[in-house]
C-alpha cells in the first residue's frame, strides 16, 4: 500500500472524512474500485511507474501490478479500441487520455464504436468503459493541453458524460462511473487537481447524473461544471457584496443533464447564466439554454445567457486569462440578465 488514506475520524456509525485534492481523490476512488472489483483495469500512457503525468494513478502500479495498471503503447485509438475488446471479455477498463487535446486520435473508437456497440448488439452487450480526460485551462500550458472538448461527446448518443468539481464528488463519481454498465466520459478539471477539499468516505451524496445547488440565492442562477464552478462561486461572492443574491448550480453530468434542480432554480430566480470554458457555439451551454427556454419560458425574466470561451482555438498560454471566462465576465452577464 502506498499513500493510504487516513480518515480524520472514523466511528462505526459516524462519517469518515478526509481532506484531499481532486486528483488524489480520484486516485483513492480508483484504488477503492480496483480493490472492490478485480475486473477493473487501468490503461493509458505513463500511468504505470510514473503514476500518470498528473500522478492521478500514483502508487496503483506498485499496489495492483502491471497487469491491472497497464502502461500502453503511445496510441489513443489503440487504448480505446483495446479497452472495447477487454470490456467484451468481461473487464471494466478505465482509460486515461493524457491531455484533452490528445483524445482525437481515439475519437473514432469512442464515437463510432464504443458509443454504438450496446445499441448494435440490441442490448446483449454492455460497454462498461470509463475514459478519464484531464481537461480545461488555467495551467498556462502549450497547445492541445488546455482544451474543453466535452461537447463532442455530449453530442454523441450512447456516451454518458460527467465532470466533478470537488474532491468529494471526484472520489465518488469515479467509482460510480466505473460501476456503470455504459461508457462514461469522465472529464477531470485539471486546474482543480491540487486544491484540497473535504471528502466524506462514507456518504456519496447525490447520484452520478444529478445536478446540485452549491450556493442558494434568489435573483440569478449561475450554472457550470468542472473548474467553472469555482469561478461561479467567486462571482457569487462579489455579487453578494454588491447586494445581488446569486444561486450557483454544479451541473456535474453533461449527458444526461439533470434538469430538475436547474428548472426549479430558474423558476425561483427567473434568470439563468450558463458558463463554460469551451467555445459557446453548439456547446453544452447552448443545449441547456434551449431546453430551459422550452421548459421554463414563462418563468424567465431574461433570456438565458451563455458565458463561454471564444469561438477560436484555445490561444497561446499568455492569452488564456483573456480567453477563459472569469468572475468579471460572469458578472457582466449577470448585469445583463438583471437589466431585463
Partner 1 sequence: MSHDDPTGAPVPVQLITPSGEVARSEAADELRPFVDALGDDQLRAMHRDMVLTRRFDRESAALARQGQLALWVPSHGQEGAQVGVAHATRPQDHVFPSYREHAVALSRGVDPVDVLRLLRGHTHGGWDPAEHENFHLYTLVIGSQTLHATGYAMGLTLKGVTGTGDVDVDQAVVSFFGDGATSQGDVSEALVFAASFEAPELFFLQNNHWAISVPVARQSRTPLVARAGGFGVPGTQIDGNDVLASYAVSRRDLDAARTGGGPRFIEALTYRIGAHTSSDDPTRYREDAELQGWIARDPITRFEAFLRARGEADAFFTDLEAEAADFGSDLRSRLLADPAPGAALMFDHVYSEPHPVVAEQKAWLASYEAGFGDLGPADVPEGAR
Show which residues are catalytic.
145
- 156: cell is 454523441
Specify the residue, 46 or 182, whose C-beta has the smaller distance to partner 1. Answer: 46
Using an 8 Å Cβ cutoff, are 248 and 214 in contact? Answer: yes
For partner 1, the binding residues in 23-52 under the rule CB under 8 A are: 45-46, 48-51
| Interaction between residue 59 and partner 1 (CB under 8 A) | no
| Interaction between residue 3 and partner 1 (CB under 8 A) | no
* Shortest CB 274 distance to partner 1, Å: 17
Beta-bridge mates of residue 285: none
- Report the residue from 16, 62, 141, 293 that binds partner 1 according to the rule CB under 8 A: 141
Beta-bridge mates of residue 83: none
What is the torsional sign of CA 283, 142, 226, 176? positive
Buried b (16+ CB within 10 A) or exposed e, 18-49: bebbbbbbbbbbbbbbbeeeebbbbbbbbbbe
Specify the residue, 63 or 332, whose C-beta has the smaller distance to partner 1. Answer: 332
For partner 1, the binding residues in 160-219 under the rule CB under 8 A are: none
| Interaction between residue 293 and partner 1 (CB under 8 A) | no
Residue with cell 476512488: 29
Within 10 A of 118 (CB to CB), how many other CB atoms are there?
18
| Interaction between residue 124 and partner 1 (CB under 8 A) | no
| Interaction between residue 338 and partner 1 (CB under 8 A) | no
* Shortest CB 276 distance to partner 1, Å: 15
Question: Which of the ranges 30-38, 74-82, 169-177, 267-275 carries the binding residues for partner 1, by CB under 8 A?
Answer: 74-82
- Report the residue from 8, 37, 143, 198 that binds partner 1 according to the rule CB under 8 A: 143
Question: Which of the ranges 141-149, 161-169, 172-180, 284-292 carries the binding residues for partner 1, by CB under 8 A?
Answer: 141-149
| Interaction between residue 323 and partner 1 (CB under 8 A) | yes
Specify the residue, 106 or 217, whose C-beta has the smaller distance to partner 1. Answer: 106
| Interaction between residue 282 and partner 1 (CB under 8 A) | no
Number of residues that bind partner 1 (CB under 8 A): 41
* Shortest CB 198 distance to partner 1, Å: 28
- Report the residue from 7, 21, 78, 303 that binds partner 1 according to the rule CB under 8 A: 78
- Residues forming contacts to partner 1 in the complex (CB under 8 A) are 45-46, 48-51, 53, 71-75, 77-78, 101-102, 104-105, 140-144, 281, 310-313, 315-323, 326, 328-329, 332
Amino acid at each position: 500500500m502506498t499513500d493510504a488514506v487516513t480518515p480524520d475520524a472514523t466511528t462505526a456509525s459516524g462519517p469518515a472524512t478526509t481532506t484531499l485534492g481532486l486528483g488524489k481523490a480520484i486516485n483513492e476512488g480508483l484504488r477503492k474500485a480496483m480493490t472492490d472489483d478485480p475486473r477493473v483495469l487501468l490503461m493509458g500512457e505513463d500511468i504505470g511507474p510514473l503514476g500518470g503525468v498528473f500522478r492521478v494513478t500514483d502508487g496503483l502500479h506498485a499496489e495492483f501490478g502491471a497487469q491491472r495498471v497497464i502502461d500502453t503503447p503511445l496510441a489513443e485509438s489503440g487504448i480505446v479500441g483495446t479497452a472495447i475488446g477487454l470490456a467484451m471479455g468481461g473487464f471494466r477498463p478505465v482509460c486515461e487520455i493524457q491531455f484533452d487535446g490528445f483524445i482525437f486520435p481515439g475519437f473514432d473508437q469512442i464515437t463510432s464504436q464504443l458509443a454504438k456497440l450496446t445499441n448494435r448488439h440490441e442490448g446483449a452487450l454492455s460497454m462498461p468503459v470509463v475514459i478519464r480526460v484531464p481537461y480545461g485551462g488555467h495551467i498556462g500550458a502549450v497547445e492541445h493541453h488546455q482544451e474543453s472538448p466535452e461537447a463532442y461527446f455530449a453530442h454523441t448518443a450512447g456516451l454518458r458524460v460527467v465532470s466533478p468539481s470537488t474532491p468529494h464528488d471526484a472520489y465518488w463519481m469515479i467509482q460510480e462511473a466505473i460501476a456503470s454498465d455504459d461508457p462514461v466520459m469522465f472529464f477531470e478539471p485539471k486546474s482543480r487537481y491540487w486544491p484540497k477539499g473535504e471528502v466524506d468516505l462514507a456518504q456519496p451524496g447525490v447520484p452520478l447524473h444529478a445536478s446540485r445547488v452549491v450556493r442558494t440565492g434568489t435573483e440569478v442562477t449561475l450554472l457550470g461544471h468542472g473548474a467553472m464552478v469555482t469561478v461561479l462561486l467567486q462571482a457569487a461572492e462579489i455579487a453578494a457584496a454588491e447586494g445581488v443574491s446569486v444561486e450557483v448550480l454544479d451541473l456535474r453530468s453533461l449527458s444526461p443533464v439533470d434538469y430538475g434542480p436547474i428548472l426549479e432554480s430558474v423558476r425561483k430566480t427567473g434568470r439563468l447564466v450558463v458558463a463554460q470554458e469551451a467555445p459557446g457555439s453548439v456547446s453544452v451551454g447552448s443545449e441547456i439554454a434551449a431546453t430551459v427556454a422550452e421548459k421554463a419560458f414563462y418563468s424567465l425574466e431574461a433570456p438565458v445567457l451563455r458565458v463561454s470561451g471564444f469561438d477560436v482555438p484555445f490561444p497561446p498560454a499568455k492569452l488564456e486569462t483573456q480567453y477563459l471566462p472569469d468572475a468579471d465576465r460572469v458578472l457582466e452577464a449577470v448585469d445583463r440578465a438583471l437589466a431585463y
